[in-house]
Amino acid sequence: MLSIQFLGAAGTVTGSKHLVRFDGERELLVDCGLFQGPKQWREKNWEALPVPAPNLEWVALTHAHLDHCGWLPRLAESGFRGPAYCSSGTAELARILLPDSGHLQEEDAEHANYKGFSKHDPALPLYTEEQAIASLALLREAPFNQAVELQSGITCRFIRAGHILGSSFIELRAAGRVVLFTGDMGRPHSETGGPSAPPDTDYLLLESTYGNRLHPAQDPHPQLARIITQTARRGGSVVIPAFAVERTQKLIFLLKELMEEGAMPRIPVYSDSPMAIQAMKIFLRHQDEFDEETRGLIRKHGSPLDWDGFHFAAKREESVQINRSRVPIVIVSSSGMASGGRVLHHLAQRLPDPRNTVVFVGFQAEGTRGALLQAGRPTVKIHGLEVPVRAKIETLGQFSDHADYQEIMAWLKGFARPPRRTFIVHGEPSAAQAMGDRVARELGWDVHVAQYLERIELT
Ligand SMILES: [Zn+2]
């Protein structure tokens, strides 16, 4: 007996949590993600799981994005005693991302209390930095491609997904069945070498973030250079909301290339994140996960921590200093969907000035400030205040870490035989439906779009 229940990333992109029950008693949670974006989903971060956390046997994490691992501290606080398996890259990133997430939640709660804009009195963090640090002891590193035995007859295997550093598909073998969880899937020809070919699978859980969208085909480099050049000529600055690991590192290398080619002016670049320095070090340490081109860039340019004109703001005072700059600069700061973090301070300050530009390089989940800005809202609420949006808003979809539907379809064609059933997860409802319809129509597979809290027997 094997069943699966969708506790997140069903009906929405975030909050990835797939509960697998073996023989009705033992339980594995694949991914332990935070809900982000619309409030009705975020509020679920405060709810308990349908199974008592101490009864949960194992967690397995596909990657370090917070919508896949950011709920682990909360699960640990509720009594989960581990282990939580993941790749070594995921563990390294989680060791900086989870404490940072706790820290940011404390900062946001403090800020809310100070300004008095929270409906809750006092506003509390979902978890603290200290609780996040405590949860790290549960992480257990698993090598790529080797089955890890959870118990006799149940194994997990981590297979490179090419999405971000450390990202994996998880192949679960139990009760004579194989279940494959894609987590998030990278693009072919990405810096991480793209997703691995699919193994033979009975049940597939397929992500659908870009289930109804394609990435632009044109080279993004000249576009980025043009945006930055024009903004600097107006005397404005460029704010790039970006996840603090991975995409930030790529952008930093790219900006250096563009400056050296003379494609854009040499203006100061700030990577503003409390973990900017650590994240860069992890990125440089895991070069084995990147393709030859990226490794070549690292060989050519060395460590950005030593570059002139590039600044890594780890401390809050340094971040405040950036806010005071009146000359054109580029600020790369998280969170990537402008749902929290230091980028909010930069946006609050730079959005009202029409000389500035905000450039989105990653997926913006429905309801996030990032999505509202992309939709052209005249104001956005930041820290309880309506901030007028006069800055230019630009999007460069080519930098996405997610495969689009065409790239997913090409990957699916690599299956030697169709899975018995494919469950579509991790997409807005319209994207998930479109992906499911396409797979059923073009491949003739048995497809089901997962619903929140729905439980399915894998017979
Ligand atoms: Zn991800």
Give the DSSP letter of residue 54.
G
Ligand 1 centroid to Cα of residue 400, in Å, is 10
Residue ranges covered by each domain of the chain: 2-213+401-457, 220-399
Tens digit of each residue's pLDDT (9 = 90 or more) over 371-426:
999 999 999 999 889 999 999 999 998 888 899 999 999 999 999 999 999 999 99
The predicted model scores a pTM of: 0.89
Tokens linked to 39: 């409030």
Ligand 1 centroid to Cα of residue 62, in Å, is 9
Mean residue pLDDT of the chain comes to: 92
Tens digit of each residue's pLDDT (9 = 90 or more) over 272-316:
988 888 888 998 888 888 888 788 888 888 888 899 999 998 888
Residue count (the chain): 459
CATH superfamily of 2-213+401-457: Ribonuclease Z/Hydroxyacylglutathione hydrolase-like (3.60.15.10)
Mean pLDDT value across residues 220-225: 93
Ligand 1 centroid to Cα of residue 252, in Å, is 20
What number of CA atoms fall less than 13 Å from residue 368's CA on the CB side? 25
Q: What is the pLDDT of residue 250?
A: 82
Through-space distance between the first and last CA atoms of the chain, rounded to whole angstroms? 7
CB of 273 closer than 8 Å to CB of 103: no
Select 220-399's CATH number: 3.10.129.10, 3.40.50.10890, 3.40.50.10800, 3.40.50.300: 3.40.50.10890
> Among residues of the chain, what percentage have pLDDT more than 70?
98
pLDDT band at 119 (very low <50, low <70, confident <90, very high): low
Ligand 1 centroid to Cα of residue 114, in Å, is 33
- The rounded distance, in Å, linking the Cα atoms of 142 and 353 is 48
For residue 213, the SS3 value is coil
| pLDDT of residue 149 exceeding 70 | yes
Ligand 1 centroid to Cα of residue 115, in Å, is 32
Ligand 1 centroid to Cα of residue 95, in Å, is 16
Ligand 1 centroid to Cα of residue 146, in Å, is 22
Ligand 1 centroid to Cα of residue 104, in Å, is 19
Peptide bond into 419 cis (omega under 30): no
pLDDT band at 116 (very low <50, low <70, confident <90, very high): low
How far does Cα 48 stand from its chain's mean position?
23
- The rounded distance, in Å, linking the Cα atoms of 434 and 321 is 46
Q: What is the pLDDT of residue 115?
A: 67
Ligand 1 centroid to Cα of residue 13, in Å, is 10
